[in-house]
Amino acid sequence: MATTSVHIGSYESIPSSASPGLVFLKELLPSWDALGKPSKPVREFFNNETVFVTNSNDPTPVGQVLQGLIKRVDRLAKLHREVSVAYDIGKEDGSRTVIFEAINTRVLKNDPSNTEVKGKEVTILELKPVDGKLVALEARTTLENHALNVHQRKIGGGANGA
């Protein structure tokens, strides 16, 4: 039988006793948003089969996404997701679907005003148990990029895909 858990509030406030998918999210996001070396390597949350789909673009393989995460440190001074609500749907086979809504905040390095540019984000993570731990096999994100694109043009720089 499927089970569902809901967390309202920041991912930092997810208790350690929460459902497995919510705990996965709490551990993932600090690594995923890190602009330096994270305390837990982001690679540990994915496997070689993982694909990422952003704003209905073609799927991007995990290796390409991980390289982009490394390179974004050159473009971004800040990146943070302020989660407002997260859902964890557990299935009988041990797989899980985690859905979260957030405000994605970025500050571009080449912005002398250090303006925080915000956009709404909804991400769906498809998780599977592999070797005793959950890994994301797919991450689908819808991200409102209009404000970021306008701001990039205003300051004359870019953070495409950051």
- pLDDT > 80? residue 162: no
Q: Which domains does the chain have, with CATH numbers?
A: 3-106+120-144 (3.10.450.50)
- pLDDT > 70? residue 147: yes
**pLDDT tens sequence across 48-99:** 999 999 998 999 999 999 888 888 889 899 999 999 999 999 999 999 999 9
133 and 113 Cβ atoms separated by less than 8 Å: no
For residue 157, the model assigns a pLDDT of 58
For residue 161, the model assigns a pLDDT of 46
CA distance 160 to 138: 21
Mean pLDDT estimate for the chain: 92
Please, which residues have CB within 8 angstroms of residue 56's CB and are 6 or more apart in sequence? Answer: 142
